[in-house]
Amino acid sequence: MTSGNWSRVTEFLILGFPQLQGVQVYLFLLLLLIYLTTIAGNLLIFLVVRLDSRLHTPMYHFVSVLSLLELGYTAATIPKMLANLLSERKTISFSGCLLQIYFFHSLGATECYLLTAMAYDRYLAICRPLHYPTLMTAERCARIAACCWLGGLAGPVVEISLVSRLPFCGPNRIHHIFCDFPPVLSLACTDTSINVLVDFVVNSCKILATFLLILSSYAHILRTVLRMPSAAGRRKAFSTCASHLTVVFIFYSSILFMYVRLKKSYSLDYDRALAVVYSVLTPFLNPFIYSLRNKELKEAVKRQFRRMWVSN
Give me the residue spans of the domains in the chain.
9-311
Q: Which pLDDT score is estimated for 4? A: 45
13 phi/psi in degrees, rounded to 5: -110, 115
Q: Which pLDDT score is estimated for 260? A: 73
Go through 272-283 and write b for each residue having 16 or more CB atoms within 10 A of its CB, e for each that does not: bebbbbbbbebb
pLDDT digits (tens, 9 = 90+) for 264-311: 555 667 778 888 888 898 899 888 888 766 778 888 888 888 877 776
What's the CA gap between 105 and 6, in Å, rounded?
A: 30
Q: Which pLDDT score is estimated for 5? A: 47
Judge whether residue 111 has pLDDT over 50.
yes
CATH numeric code, 9-311: 1.20.1070.10
Judge whether residue 262 has pLDDT over 70.
no
Judge whether residue 215 has pLDDT over 90.
yes
Q: Which pLDDT score is estimated for 267? A: 63
Q: Which pLDDT score is estimated for 73? A: 92
**Average pLDDT score over residue span 199-210:** 88
Please give the model's pTM, rounded to 2 decimal places.
Answer: 0.90
pLDDT digits (tens, 9 = 90+) for 48-77: 999 888 889 999 999 999 999 999 999 999
